[in-house]
Structure 1
Amino acid sequence: MSDDPTGLIHHPDGCPRCRWAGLDPVYVAYHDTEWGVPERDGRALYEKLILDGFQAGLSWITILRRREGFRRAFLGFEPEAVARLTDADVEWLMQDTGIIRNRAKIVGAIVGARAWLAIEERGPGFSRFLWDFVDGAPIQGTARDRSGIATETDVSRVISKALKAEGFTFCGPIIVHAFMQAVGMINDHLVGCHRHAPCAELGAEG
């Protein structure tokens, strides 16, 4: 593997990748198969938003390694089920070593599920609610080095404000921007990364 000043890592397999993917096979697989792929399923978007909230103050790999634990603890991230969790369930989750045991974030997941349901009930749904902020199509990044990658944007600030108004927590502009990158609302793979063009094609397909 070799590194270069543009922010790419050249792996032995010959594929240049965004430097943040590093060598960890879990991270590399996430980079190659999920990050930047447009996600339009409302339940999956809820899951990713909540996990990004849990990441606050931590590294994403910390969350990624516990993802199955989170899915088990939060009932597959089915909003209808999570919304029914009680104070007693919160206490039970606070004892679960398979997740990040942060009370405010656990409560935030439950409150977020209820907000998700409210958005779904009034239509046209959580996915449309989010994707309308980018006119239904991914923003295509053109950065060729890591200096061109933002940590927040005007769009992430607008979405953050809208999510908070709906009742979501742990959804500041930086978290929302990271979420947008992860779910393909922004294609922020560096142009030289082997995943930039495929993600751009997926975005064009709508």
Structure 2
Amino acid sequence: MLHLASRSPRRAELLARLGLDFGVIDLDIPERQGASEAAHEYVRRVAREKAGAGLLEVVAVPGAVVLGADTEVILDGRVFGKPADAVDAAGMLRTLSGRTHEVITAVSLVSAGRETQAVSTSQVQVAALSDADIAACIASGEWDGKAGAYAIQGRFQAHIEHLSGSYSGVMGLPLFETAQLLKRFGLLQ
């Protein structure tokens, strides 16, 4: 049985698009980058930790497979995680304004005897944002709980000039890479 170790309704929605039945494991895994930890390694580690913690929750289930994922926005080597509040979110959006940043999503798939991982990296070019644009983004509430303070599938989509990479990866679960991992585990044809 497949289990998604995530609180994200977007990840559940994306995984459902692959036509699989799965359970959801609600976990609270600390997402803190180590002082000397590179951004890419941080994203990979958090995805592994989510999958591993999820597996501990369902270890008694025969044949349990757990999928964990992490998505981060990165600009100039800095990880833009989930904003602490609206002021933090506005600051993130100001920093991303008129620039191209990287969105990295790592996906880990684990079972009692196997583990595999894939990483999706996308480049997202944000248009120059006015103060009014930023205020509207904050007022929408879409920033809450989103890496980089935006949801590409929401209103912020109108501020994306260019995307190179995986749209679903920027949303939180790159479907191509996820499907490849599920095929390796025999869960998808």
Work out whether the TM-score is over 0.5. no
Instruction: Please state which structure has a larger fraction of its residues in strand.
Output: 2
TM-score for the superposition, normalised by structure 2: 0.28
Output the TM-score relative to the length of structure 1.
0.26
